[in-house]
Structure 1
Amino acid sequence: MDKKKREHIRYRIYEILEVRAGIDHAARVYDVIYLMTIIINLTVSIMYTYESYRAEYGELLTAIENVTVALFCIDYILRLCTAKYMYPEAHGPGAVRKYVLSFTGIIDMLSFLPYYLPFFFPSGAVAFRMLRVMRVFRLFRINAYYDSLKLITDVLNSKRQQLFSSVFTILILMLASSLCMYSLEHEAQPEVFTNAFSGIWWSASTLLTVGYGDIYPITTLGKLFGIFITFLGVGMVAIPTGIISAGFVDQYSRIKRIAEYGQEADVHFIRIHLTARDPWVNKSIAQLHLPERVIVAVVQRNHRVLVPRGNLVLRQDDVMVLAAESFQDKEHIRLKEIILQKNNPWNGQRIRDLDISRHSVIVLVKRKERVLIPNGNLILREGDMVILYSEMRIANVTEIEI
């Protein structure tokens, strides 16, 4: 098998592994199997904790777990092999390293690795069994299927600095209140508040809840301080809640503005067929550096419609559909379209030799199925469609309003 064929197979595997919303049936089938594997694995893990199920169906549950964990392992290996398409900006080992060290890469590895480690290190079986809990985090991959779940991730990511600041403030307050309560209650309850850190549990339960009653102040000053900390805790815990709530409001407002903007402003689409000479071939969409108001709406490849994510690498013969706002101008610029007939004096002349430079600008020339850049050396031919902006009157032209 030649290198080109292997690369084609590898890229096809990458397309199947990625979440698809189009008509790629193989990718959609894999997505369903992958989700079902996660759900079945977690269900088996939960059922195995019940003594009755473990005694009656222990062998079956173990067999199912073996199969699902093996699928996790295969999925991880395939993602390693296709990492360069997942991270096109990193080359070779760099792409593999970026996936391995990413959050999803770590979760994918911990989903199967602790299951096999006891075979090589029997003494650490208990610790490895605890790490199997990490499989639960594979449920975060469902975010790729539902925009509503992805909204939660976007909110937490956008407000991470504010959340970190509020949590850091709560931790400082917990430590300070623990030290204060130790000073107030140590002499009265030396067996309860034995040291400076013994009040951490009290401060956590008081600041974050209403207390559990196992540790509480008995002195007058301690009770007054406890009341103060309780009121302060209500306000401090409300800060992260308010930050997250404000984040959801901002996100929904932004989505609403986008929807309203989409209704008010016309969006125009253009179709581009990439050839071997186009500089966009073998580049990812993120590397195209398109203008701010131009987006890639869809990419068609071999009768398949691909979601134009930033890491999608364009290929020869891809068909791109670009979207942009319609041109807004109060002067209503009008272009003129003229098809050069047999006796047209422009036939056989270079554009720079035409006596129209002071009054007209040729925008583009369409020759059969090709769109040509109207540089000065371009020679016009019979049948060419010439689109130009002109202030002078030209016979046999059709006006185009932008």
Structure 2
Amino acid sequence: MTIRRRLYLTLEPTEKGGVLERIFEFFLISIIILNIFAVILDSVAELRSKHDALFVKFEFFTIIFFTLEYIARIYSIVENPEYSEPVKGRLKYMRQPMAIIDLLAFLPFYFVFIDLRFLRIFRLMSLFRLFKIARYLHALKIFKRVLTDRKEQLVLSFLFILFVLTIISFIMFYAEHDAQPDKFSSIPATMWWGIATITTVGYGDMVPITALGKFLGGLFAIAGVGLLALPAGILSSGFFELLHVDKSKEVKKCPHCGKEIHE
């Protein structure tokens, strides 16, 4: 087995591997989780002042590790028949969502030599490292399939919620604007009240005081429970159908040759 083939089997979770592949997978996930914890703890002033050198060293190690991992993936991806062409295949893989996430997990940090305050936003790019775990979690793949299968229903449900939110905010604006011009100053500002109400959060920063406003607020609060249940119901039915598919209808394949097994 060539070194490139070994790298591909080690880095690609969809390929069946041995002990070495499982060890690397565990190590990679551990590095990602520890990195996210480091970003969180680094935001605590006391911890940052005491352990700043440790955070910097761990960040440096993480950047180098993810850089080498990305280079290894680009180098070995030609072992996949879909990306078998040396140049076009690698360029095609580099445009894939997970490959872009891999790149964003480390690339911005090579620009830290630019002394500009706005580059501190690159610290948020560390969150992309969390998405790297997605390729190793079967549950996220199931969630992606459900979103793909039910995307039309979900879009329609969210559009309906937005439509109702706009209508109720429009009416509430004219019901409360004269009584509270500072809070219900415009329809977009009133939509903030609508979002807090439809989600039953109720921050309390905008509260109707007129009789009509209270009546509409009560109706919208009750309707909000049912409106938000629409996307939840769509997702739950999608998960149920996917997880409770009739196993007898599934085609059984040989784990060795990949051909169908007939009874």
TM-score normalized with structure 2 length: 0.88
Q: How does 1:179-194 map to 2 (within 5 A)?
A: 179-194=170-185
Tell me, yes or no, if structure 1 residue 56 matches structure 2 residue 50: yes
After superposition, the Cα gap between the structure-2 partners of 1:208 and 1:91, relative to the gap in structure 1 and judged at 3 Å, is farther
Larger RCO, structures 1/2 (Cα 8 Å, 6+ apart): 2
Partner of 2:220: 229
The one-letter code matched in structure 1 to 2:160 is T
After superposition, the Cα gap between the structure-2 partners of 1:93 and 1:322, relative to the gap in structure 1 and judged at 3 Å, is same
Which is greater in Rg?
A: 1
Q: How does 1:164-313 map to 2 (within 5 A)?
A: 164-254=155-245, 257-258=246-247, 261=248, 295=253, 297-299=254-256
Give SS of 2:188's match. coil
Partner of 2:21: 27
Alignment check: 8 A CA contact 1:100 1:106 kept: yes
Among 8, 11, 30, which residue is 1:14 paired with? 8
Tell me, yes or no, if structure 1 residue 78 matches structure 2 residue 72: yes
Q: How does 1:362-373 map to 2 (within 5 A)?
A: none
* Aligned residues between the structures: 263
Deviations along 1:236-276, whole A, 9 cap, x unmatched? Answer: 1001111111112112221xx21xx29xxxxxxxxxxxxxx
Shift of 1:208: 1.4
Shift of 1:201: 0.8
Separation in 2 of the partners of 1:63 and 1:75? 18
Partner of 2:152: 161
Alignment check: 8 A CA contact 1:114 1:132 kept: no
Alignment check: 8 A CA contact 2:35 2:59 kept: yes
Separation in 1 of the partners of 2:209 and 2:80? 60
| Structure with the higher helix share, 1 or 2 | 2
Separation in 2 of the partners of 1:126 and 1:321? 50
Alignment check: 8 A CA contact 1:20 1:28 kept: no
Alignment check: 8 A CA contact 1:117 1:128 kept: no
Among 135, 140, 143, which residue is 2:134 paired with? 140
Separation in 1 of the partners of 2:14 and 2:133? 17
Alignment check: 8 A CA contact 1:184 1:219 kept: yes
Deviations along 1:5-27, whole A, 9 cap, x unmatched? Answer: 9xx43233211111267552332
Percentage identity across paired residues of the two chains: 30
Shift of 1:28: 2.3
Tell me, yes or no, if structure 1 residue 125 matches structure 2 residue 119: yes
Separation in 1 of the partners of 2:223 and 2:123? 40
TM-score normalized with structure 1 length: 0.59
- In structure 1, stretches of 5+ residues that fail to align are 263-291, 300-319, 327-402
- Which consecutive segments of 4 or more residues in structure 1 shift more than 6 A? none
- In structure 2, stretches of 5+ residues that fail to align are none
| Structure with the higher strand share, 1 or 2 | 1
